Amino acid sequence: MKKFTMFNAIALIALLGTILFYFLGTPAPEVLLNPGAGPLGGSRELTLKLDAQGGILKKLSVSAVQAGKTVNVLEKVYPSGSRQATETFSLAKSGLKDGAVTLQITATGTAARFGADRTTSQPHSFTLDNKPPEVAVLSVAHNIIQGGAGLVVYTVSKEVEKTGVVFGDQFYPGYRQGGDFYACLFPFPYNLDPAKFVPRVMAVDRAGNERQSGINYHLIAKNFSSDRINLSDSFLQKIAAEFKGKFPQAATPLEIFLKANRDERQHDLKLINEYGHKSSPVPLWQGAFLRMPKTASLGGFAQFRTYLYQGNEVDRQTHLGFDLASLAHADVPAANTGKVVFAGDLGIYGNGIIVDHGLGLQTIYGHLSRISVKPGDTVKSGQVIGTTGATGMAGGDHLHYEMTISGQSVNPIEWWDAHWVKNNVTGKLNMIKATGSK
C-alpha cells in the first residue's frame, strides 16, 4: 500500500511538472522597440527586435490606436524555426492625425519541442508630429574657396536631434548658440568637384521630420601644388626604425614606409576625424590664428605628393597641412585659445597635439620633439605647447601644422588672415549677439 501511494505521488508530481513546463517552461518573446516613446513623425522608421528566448517565433502584430480608431501597421507570420527577427516600419500610410497615439505590439512564440504558446503584449505611447522644423538662414554672403571654410548662421523653430550643413553624403554639425540660433562651420573639401558642392542647412526634429534650406553662396575653385619626393635609403631606415613595431610583417624599410604612408595614414585620419566631432559647442578662439613666427614653408596645404624610390614611383598621397621650419627644437606656440584634446603619439604625425577651438574647429601640431601640455589643458594664443622635431614621417626638424573642421582638413591660410576671419566668421557670430539682444 505504501509503495502504491508513493508511486501515485511520484506520478502526480511528474504530471504537475509536465503541466507547469507546458505552460510556463518557455518564456514569452522579448520585444524591444526603438524609439520606444516620445514624438514621432509619420516617416520616421521604427526598429522592432524580437527574441524568442529559447523558443520559436510564430507571429507578430503591430497596431496603432488613436481616439478609438485602430489601424493595423504590421502583420507577420514567421517560418518554422525562427528564433530572432528584426522588423522596420513607419506610420507613413496609417492615415492618423497629429496627436497622441499608442502602438500595441503583440508577439507570440512557442516552445522549441513541447509547450504552450506564450505571448508578449506591449503598449508604447507616442505623440504623432508630422510638421518639420522651420529653418531661416540669417547670414547672407558665403564666399567659399575650395579647400577653405564657410560659416552659416541660422535659426530653427523647434528642438532638433540633428542639424548642420549637408552636401552629397557629407554632414557637418551645427551648434546651438542660445535660443533658436545655430552656427555651423563647414568646409569646401579640397578634393570635391565644385559642381557637386551644393551646401544646404538641414534640421531634423525629435520626431524625425527633416527640413532643408538653401544657402546664398559663391564658390571659388582652386588648384593645388604638387611635388615629387625622392626617398633615400637613410630616410627609409629612419622610418623603419620608428614604425617597425607597428608593421612587423613588413620585410624591408621600403615596405614599412609604404605601410605607414598608406595604412597608418588612414588610421590617423580616422582618429583625427573622431576628435573633430568632439568639440566645444561655442567658440573658444578669438580673432585670427597665429602662424608660428620666423618660419619658412616647406610644403603647403593639399599638396599632391608623388614618392619615388630608385627612380620608380612607389606611392601617391596628399599632404593636408603646412610644414613650417625655423631652428631645430624651436618653440611651438598655440595658434589660438582652446582646449587640448589629444597629446601623444599620433602615428605619421609623430608626437602630436590636437587643440579644440569650438564649433568643430581644431588645430594639429605634428613631428614634435617635446610636448608641454596634456589633454584637458586650456591654452592661450601664443602659449608654448611644445618644440619642433622630426618624429613620425618627418624627414627633418619642422612643425606640421594642420587645421580641421569636424575632422575635414582645411587651408590654414584663411585663418591666419585677420581680415578674412572678421568678414567670414566672427562678424557672422556677432550677428547672433546683435539679433538675439533685440
Choose among 206, 34, 44, 29: nearest CA to 124.
34
Q: Residue 12: its pLDDT value, please?
A: 54
Q: With beta carbons less than 8 A apart as the criterion, state whether 205 and 128 touch.
A: no
Query: Same domain, yes or no, for 197 and 310?
Result: no
Query: Same domain, yes or no, for 238 and 367?
Result: yes
Is residue 61 scored above 50 in pLDDT?
yes
Query: Same domain, yes or no, for 198 and 317?
Result: no
- The stretches of 112-244 forming alpha helices (DSSP H) are 233-243
In this structure, is the dihedral angle defined by the CA atoms of residues 258, 224, 232 and 392, taken in order, positive or negative? negative
Which of these three, 103, 128, 153, is where a domain ends?
Answer: 128
Altogether, the residues listed in the chain come to a count of 438
Query: Same domain, yes or no, for 381 and 313?
Result: yes
CATH code of 214's domain: 2.60.40.10
Q: What pTM value is reported for the model?
A: 0.86
| Helices first, then strands: H and E counts in the chain | 7, 32
Find the domain containing 122 and state its range. 24-128
Q: Which residues contact 187 (CB under 8 A, 6 or more apart)?
A: 147, 148, 149, 150, 172, 405, 406, 408, 409, 410
In this structure, the number of other CB atoms found within 10 A of the CB of residue 93 comes to 10
pLDDT by residue (tens digit) across 192-223? Answer: 999 999 999 999 999 999 999 999 999 999 99
CATH code of 359's domain: 2.70.70.10
Pairing relationship of beta strands 361-368 and 351-358 according to DSSP bridges: antiparallel
Average pLDDT over residues 129-152: 95
Residue type, 238: K
Tell me whether residue 412 is in a domain: no
DSSP code of residue 114? S
Grid look-up 602615428 returns 347
Res. 27 pLDDT band, cuts 50 70 90: confident
pLDDT by residue (tens digit) across 144-169? Answer: 999 999 999 999 999 999 999 999 99
Query: Same domain, yes or no, for 320 and 400?
Result: yes
Q: Is 342 helix (H, G, I), strand (E, B) or coil?
A: strand
Separation between Cα atoms, residue 394 and residue 238, nearest integer Å: 9
Choose among 131, 418, 2, 51: nearest CA to 60.
51
Query: Same domain, yes or no, for 171 and 84?
Result: no
Query: Same domain, yes or no, for 60 and 72?
Result: yes
Query: Same domain, yes or no, for 235 and 319?
Result: yes
Grid look-up 518639420 returns 132
Element (H, E) at 275: helix 265-276
Q: Residue 297: its pLDDT value, please?
A: 87
Question: C-alpha cell of 370?
Answer: 617635446
Which of these three, 81, 106, 128, is where a domain ends?
Answer: 128
Grid look-up 576671419 returns 421
